[in-house]
Amino acid sequence: MEPGDGRPFETVTLYGVPFAKMDMRRTVEYLTRAVETRRPHRVVTANPIMVMAALRDPAFLWAIATADLVVPDGTGIVWAARRAGQPLPERVAGYDLMHELLKVGDSRGWRVYLLGAAQDVAEAAAANLARRYPGVHIAGWRNGYFSDEDDDAVVEEIRRAAPDLLFVARSLAKQEPWLARHGERLGVPVMMGVGGSFDVVAGKLKRAPAAFRRLGLEWLFRLLQEPRRIGRMAVLPVFALKVLRDGEKALRYPKPGGDDRQL
Ligand code: UDP
């Protein structure tokens, strides 16, 4: 069985990453049920940078492909699925999904734990979310700069806080493998990596204005705000060319050492 099979919703698998064929509304409903039934779900919001990283690194592919739910966070993913002949309903941006879940949590008194970013950022993000969603109970927060030796203590702290939602805002390279390793022990109904979202919630970085998002240019806004991202973003045109070249071959699971991994 390949990762992607056996999920209670349809998926479109791009280079081995099984994206859920659900729009934002259905995604939120699905995860609301996860909280209600207390069934742990590891959620990955995957973008083209992550898919490219997964093609280079089978361990990273495994960390994201074995998630319970992978949502298409990025216009590039929606475009690629259409090119491959298996369209996805819409982009489900991680930042928006986080807020949609918090909105539901606001009316249902859910507990939320924030893990990641610098200490002052995590603290400001917690304070801002508490103000914006007074019905949400902030069950705890902790910065994302800790070593592997601290993992057990961090997992214990989160288990004791018993959140309904756990948002992890460490770098992409760290947050997904960390959740893949510890998700089962954490046992939180919704566990989701949210990248740089705490920096936006804390007011340290700005989200791209709607016009940029509509035009699929969120990446450009982020680049203008944080030019150090240029190295990471260099893979975006490589991804686009690969999708154009591969056509429906993009839907195949990449074989270890096989041609599909060639970039
Ligand atoms: N971050 C963290 N621990 C780390 C590395 C990064 O908590 O070891 C936080 C960082 O402070 C920021 C977020 O993760 O709030 C996203 O970081 P970055 O933009 O470098 O990563 P990306 O999401 O682009 O991979």
Q: Number of folded domains in the chain?
A: 1
Which pair of structure tokens corresponds to residue 215?
């035009």
With respect to residue 259, please indicate whether it lies within any of the assigned structural domains: no
- Assess whether the C-beta atom of 122 lies below 6 angstroms from ligand 1: no
pLDDT of residue 232: 85
For Cα atoms 72, 204, 138, give the angle at the middle one, nearest 5 degrees: 75
For 135-202, the DSSP string reads: TSEEEEEE-S---GGGHHHHHHHHHHH--SEEEEES-HHHHHHHHHHHHHHH--SEEEE-TTHHHHHT
**CB 144, CB 119: distance < 8 Å:** no
Question: Whole-model pTM?
Answer: 0.94
Q: How far is the CA of 201 from the centre of ligand 1 (A)?
A: 14
With respect to residue 56, please indicate whether it lies within any of the assigned structural domains: yes
With respect to residue 190, please indicate whether it lies within any of the assigned structural domains: yes
Which pair of structure tokens corresponds to residue 125?
């993000």
CB contact set of 250 (below 8 Å; sequence gap of 6+): 14, 15, 80, 83, 84, 242, 243
With respect to residue 7, please indicate whether it lies within any of the assigned structural domains: no
Q: Relative to the CA of 144, which ligand 1 atom is closest? A: 7
Q: How far is the CA of 85 from the centre of ligand 1 (A)?
A: 34
Please count the other Cβ atoms lying within 10 Å of the Cβ belonging to residue 231: 7
With respect to residue 154, please indicate whether it lies within any of the assigned structural domains: yes
Spans of the chain below 70 pLDDT: 1-5, 256-263
pLDDT in tens, 209-258: 999 888 888 889 989 999 998 888 889 999 999 999 999 999 988 876 65
**CB 123, CB 141: distance < 8 Å:** yes
For 27-43, the DSSP string reads: HHHHHHHHHHHT--EEE
Q: Relative to the CA of 145, which ligand 1 atom is closest? A: 3
The domain in which residue 241 lies consists of 18-248
pLDDT in tens, 29-52: 999 999 999 999 999 999 999 999
- Assess whether the C-beta atom of 117 lies below 6 angstroms from ligand 1: yes
- Assess whether the C-beta atom of 146 lies below 6 angstroms from ligand 1: no
**CB 71, CB 20: distance < 8 Å:** yes
Q: How far is the CA of 37 from the centre of ligand 1 (A)?
A: 31
With respect to residue 253, please indicate whether it lies within any of the assigned structural domains: no
Rounded to whole angstroms, the Cα distance separating 56 from 253 reads 14
Amino acid found at 155: V
Q: Which residue's CA is minimally distant from atom 21 of ligand 1?
A: 171
With respect to residue 258, please indicate whether it lies within any of the assigned structural domains: no
With respect to residue 216, please indicate whether it lies within any of the assigned structural domains: yes
- Assess whether the C-beta atom of 170 lies below 6 angstroms from ligand 1: yes
pLDDT of residue 260: 56
